[in-house]
Amino acid sequence: MADVTSSGTAVLTLPTDEQILITREFDAPRHLVYKAWTTPELVSRWWPGQRGRMTLAEIDLRVGGQWRYVMIADGGFEVGFHGEYLEIVPNERIVFTEAFEGAPGVEPALNTATFTEVQGRTVLELLTEVSSKEIRDMIVGTGMEGGVQEGWDILEEIAVGLR
């Protein structure tokens, strides 16, 4: 039961032991999706989701250039990520490292964002590669292979049933 999702919904899969792949379709041509991913003022608007407010978005978009995002979460604490751009193909692909500043000892993840346009719409694939299966499972948790939702039913039950 891997396909409960439709376009517009993020699909999370685990291609190999050390990879997490998030796929999402957007109703916009890819140069705009790329722009929204690489322009600090635009990133600031979507990256915090509903969890807080962006306080810093630095993007030095060139190979070897650094990026750093910091937000103040609604709980009042800072959440920061940073990394380096390793490969840039404008409107097509960005390869970059990503380190979570809250876990300084953990090796940075290697991310590849791929933008593919199909009839005016864009499929974004965000591939995260980590150094071990344990870290991957730590990020996505257990039983996710069958799709984000079903995999979580069990643990959801467990969490809800806490007493």
* 3-class secondary structure, 40: helix
Residue 137: strand, helix, or coil: helix
Binder among 21, 36, 61, 88 for another protein (CB under 8 A): 36
Enter the tokens of residue 135. 């870290």
For residue 2, the Cα-to-chain-centroid distance in whole angstroms is 20
Backbone φ, ψ for residue 140 (5° rounding) = -100, -15
Closest CA to 66 of 51, 83, 41: 83
Q: Name which of 5 and 97 has its Cβ closer to another protein.
A: 5
Q: Which residues on neighbouring strands pair with residue 94, listed in sequence order?
A: 88, 113
What is the residue type of 145?
Answer: E
Of these, 4, 27, 53, 107, which contacts another protein (CB under 8 A)? 27
63/133 with CB nearer another protein: 133
Query: Is residue 46 a contact point for another protein (CB under 8 A)?
Result: yes
Nearer to another protein, 64 or 75 (CB): 75
Identity of the residue, 64 or 105, whose beta carbon is nearer to another protein in the bound complex: 105
Interface residues for another protein in 91-150 (CB under 8 A)?
A: 133-134, 137-144, 148
Answer for which of 13, 14, 21, 24 binds another protein (CB under 8 A) is 24
Cβ proximity of 108 and 98 under 8 Å: yes
Residue that is written with structure tokens 């990020």 in the block: 139
Q: Which of 2, 7, 16, 35 forms a contact with another protein (CB under 8 A)?
A: 35
Using the contact rule CB under 8 A, the part of the chain among 18-26, 59-67, 88-96, 111-119 near another protein is 18-26
The one-letter code for the residue type at 2 is A
**Secondary structure element (H or E) that encloses residue 80, with its range:** strand 78-89
Binding site for another protein (CB under 8 A): 9-10, 12, 22, 24, 26-29, 32-33, 35-36, 42, 45-51, 133-134, 137-144, 148, 152, 154-159, 161-162
